[in-house]
Structure 1
Amino acid sequence: MDRSIPPGRVAGTLTPPCSKSYAQRALAASLLCDGVSTLHNLGFCDDTRSALRCIRALGARVRPTGDASLAVEGGLHPVGRRLPVGESGLATRLFTPIASLCTEPVRIEGEGTLLHRPMGMMVPPLRQLGVRVKERGGHLPFEVCGPMHGGEVTVDGSVSSQFVTGLLLALPRAAGDTTLHVRDAVSTPYLDMTLDTAAHFGVEIFQRDYEEFYIPGAQRYCATELHIEGDWSAAAMLLVAGATAGEVTVTNVPMLSKQGDTAVCTALVRAGAAVINDARSVTAVRRPLRAFEFDATHCPDLFPALAALAAAAEGVSILHGTSRLRHKESDRAEAIREEYGRLGIEVDLPDEDVMTIRGGVIRGGRVHSHGDHRMAMSLAVAALRAEGVVTIEDAECVAKSYPEFFEDLESIRIR
């Protein structure tokens, strides 16, 4: 599906979908409970639906209690031997360790670009923890068969924190205690979200500098009631729209959130935008924008939003952390360079961890999302400042995280 975005100004208030990262963690923890947990403010994007399929496949019973609320009766008893993770990297790395608690073989099956994303980092630690793993060259599908026991194990955290998250949520249910050593942990705010979720469900995990985690075994997850906060990754796109093309207020995004993408507010201020916040909302207002420098190593999902911000700023902005972008839904560094180049914005990758973006006149034109939801949203936001219409190919990929994105953006357009 193509989507054409004309230039224009925006003003209004929007509520982004819930944090899919928190939602998937909460669904996993609910599966591991003995009782019934109630989750509120759920949004049903593709990734959250993948997590729902996973917990049902692993034995949870789920019923709606409202438009955005679910009751989840836990119980880790696989109803088959397939775990369909869809195209969700987090679901894969989160539910593979949980499936490894089971004594029956479970086959982890993915779709689309996920089949090309690296998963081999999971295999040696799982085997050290007693799991039988059948795999092909470090990519899906995998087959795992537990039960996973405790012990001492080292994990490479340099590519993604998601597998560490899966282990942290699964290992409290293992029979023995575990000491988990993590080398070169990245995206540490996501690990904070994992620890926060576990604590909400009554589970204790101890950590030192994100390098060592001690996880007591034989713990019980306690059923709870939880409200899922808004997604700061989605909010970042909306706030950049406000900073570059008018004024946007985003609600249900607490500033004290553990989500790392709250850092977009720092980038906005460095670029010269006005940022106003209270306990549950943030407003970004357009001002003359200047080039800025920002390290997104621990919040790589911000890169597409930051690209739209830098394209509208005067001068050359410098973004650090591009090595984190190679194994996302697309090679996001190359995708940003290629697609913004089509719009007349010069993007360079002078080394493997740096991106420079020379802001200036954004041309209209035809661009491609690369099947990447965040690229589609980024290009749509950039289009607000373009000289002509920007047409985005394969725009329906926004359903992965924010199905209503285009409708929301159109609803605040000034006519």
Structure 2
Amino acid sequence: NVDCGESGSTLRFFIPLGANLGCPLTFIGHGKLVSRPLQAYYDILDKQFVQYFNDNGNLPLTVNGLLMPGKFELPGDVSSQFVSGLLFALPLLKGDSEIIITSPLESASYVDMTLNCLAKYGVKIENVDGAHRHYLVPGKQHFKAQDSKVEGDWSQAAFWTVGGALGAGITASGVDFASLQGDKAVVEIMQRMGADIAKTDDSVTVNSGATQATIIDASNCPDIIPVLTVLAAVSEGTTKIINAGRLRIKECDRLAAMTSELNKMGAEITEEPEGLTITGKPEGLQGGVEVDAWNDHRIAMSLAIAAQCCAEPIILTGAGSVSKSYPDFWEDYKSVGGKIEVLA
């Protein structure tokens, strides 16, 4: 068995590789991962005549077969993780393949990161028109081992850049402004909102100051939307978050979660089918309530950042969910002045 925990990327990256082993491999998961969408792969496995068994579309999923080179069609509006998963597996097949994206690709920056990483390890793939709609994948390729440095994570830095804008100033170091990560957009979005930002080659410093509303397109940066919702909640004017429907199928429905929990704290947020409308309260939020992380690491960290905007402390349940992506978050939170009391 392959235990993917609650990680959608782990599951979606490994399914195509597992479908090329020629022997049964079972994927299991926990939490909302059990029911997260996999239909794009099921359609491909059906066309490939690769056996698979699942629980009414949910995990556990067992695959048993061998992928054959050919044409692979995928929708682009569900998750770029399906595209990346195929990009990892298809170069290993015995012949050439094509990937056709049948609808506009959201989070295209993540696919760019995949292509860039594969190239570093000796795998060649052609983005035919440069528009993320057609990829040519030569077969019979091999990954070439080498030493590499993993760049800093902009999605994690975003918590501290927003925290700096709401507090006494924070520097996030170890970031790369030449990165292909879509979440790097946090800096540009915050600049549009009027945040006080200073950059060096590998760090960004954000100081406290008034911020204004803007329109935030979530298409290529979904992971930073929860914490940007916090900033918008205390910025002057009405912020619109658009093209964010995919946030409903993450570890939790992140649009519903941020609306529910921030409104408890005194924010004014309205859910839309594909986004949020946020009427800012520059005077801050009231707090003094119990909120829940919805078993989602990004919700937990976003609410922790929101606490510094509150007149009264909050009680956060589910705080341990940060361990999914950032086990040291609470230590770092305290290191920049955050106050925490663990309740029995």
What is the TM-score normalised by the length of structure 1?
0.78
The 8 Å contact of residues 129 and 150 in structure 1, kept in 2 or not, is answered as: no
Correspondence list, 1:58-207, <5 A: 82-183=1-102, 184-207=104-127
Tell me the alpha carbon deviations over residues 44-65 of structure 1, each in whole angstroms, 9 at most, x when there is no partner: xxxxxxxxxxxxxxxxxxxxxx
Equivalent in the alignment of 1:387: 311
Distance in 1, matches of 2:178 and 2:189, equals 17
**Secondary structure at the counterpart of residue 86 of structure 1:** coil
The 8 Å contact of residues 119 and 140 in structure 1, kept in 2 or not, is answered as: no
Equivalent in the alignment of 1:354: 275
Tell me the alpha carbon deviations over residues 320-368 of structure 1, each in whole angstroms, 9 at most, x when there is no partner: 122111101110111111001101101112x422311112131112100
What is the TM-score normalised by the length of structure 2?
0.94
The 8 Å contact of residues 255 and 275 in structure 2, kept in 1 or not, is answered as: no
Equivalent in the alignment of 1:43: none
User: Aligned partner of 2:139: which letter?
Assistant: G
User: Aligned partner of 1:176: which letter?
Assistant: G
Equivalent in the alignment of 1:50: none
Choose the corresponding residue for 2:263, options 341, 349, 355. Answer: 341
User: Aligned partner of 1:164: which letter?
Assistant: V
Distance in 2, matches of 1:152 and 1:128, equals 10
Distance in 1, matches of 2:17 and 2:71, equals 18
- 1:268 matched to 2:187? The reply is no
Distance in 1, matches of 2:167 and 2:219, equals 27
The 8 Å contact of residues 319 and 355 in structure 1, kept in 2 or not, is answered as: yes
Distance in 2, matches of 1:157 and 1:291, equals 29
Distance in 2, matches of 1:414 and 1:390, equals 12
The alignment of Structure 1 onto Structure 2 pairs a total of residues equal to 333
Choose the corresponding residue for 1:287, options 198, 209, 215. Answer: 209
For residue 414 of structure 1, report the CA deviation from its aligned partner: 7.9
User: Aligned partner of 1:220: which letter?
Assistant: H
Structure with the higher fraction of residues in strand conformation:
1
Q: How many percent identity over aligned positions?
A: 37
**Secondary structure at the counterpart of residue 89 of structure 2:** helix
**Secondary structure at the counterpart of residue 387 of structure 1:** strand
For residue 298 of structure 1, report the CA deviation from its aligned partner: 1.4
User: Aligned partner of 2:332: which letter?
Assistant: D
User: Aligned partner of 2:98: which letter?
Assistant: T
Tell me the alpha carbon deviations over residues 284-336 of structure 1, each in whole angstroms, 9 at most, x when there is no partner: 11121111211111111111111111112122111112211110111011111
**Secondary structure at the counterpart of residue 219 of structure 1:** coil
The 8 Å contact of residues 186 and 298 in structure 1, kept in 2 or not, is answered as: yes
The 8 Å contact of residues 95 and 139 in structure 2, kept in 1 or not, is answered as: yes
| Stretches (4+) displaced over 6 A | none
Distance in 2, matches of 1:112 and 1:369, equals 13
Q: Could you list the runs of 5+ residues in structure 1 that have no partner in the other structure? A: 1-81
Correspondence list, 1:226-241, <5 A: 226-241=148-163
Correspondence list, 1:323-342, <5 A: 323-342=245-264
- Using CA pairs under 8 Å that are at least 6 residues apart, name the structure with larger relative contact order, 1 or 2: 1
User: Aligned partner of 1:175: which letter?
Assistant: K
**Secondary structure at the counterpart of residue 225 of structure 1:** coil
User: Aligned partner of 1:292: which letter?
Assistant: T
Choose the corresponding residue for 1:215, options 99, 119, 137. Answer: 137
Distance in 1, matches of 2:177 and 2:5, equals 31
Equivalent in the alignment of 2:169: 247
User: Aligned partner of 1:86: which letter?
Assistant: G
CA RMSD of aligned residues (A): 1.4
**Secondary structure at the counterpart of residue 124 of structure 2:** coil
The 8 Å contact of residues 373 and 397 in structure 1, kept in 2 or not, is answered as: yes
For residue 128 of structure 1, report the CA deviation from its aligned partner: 2.6
Tell me the alpha carbon deviations over residues 172-229 of structure 1, each in whole angstroms, 9 at most, x when there is no partner: 0011111110122111111011101101110001113111111000101101111101
Distance in 2, matches of 1:414 and 1:117, equals 34
Distance in 1, matches of 2:177 and 2:7, equals 27
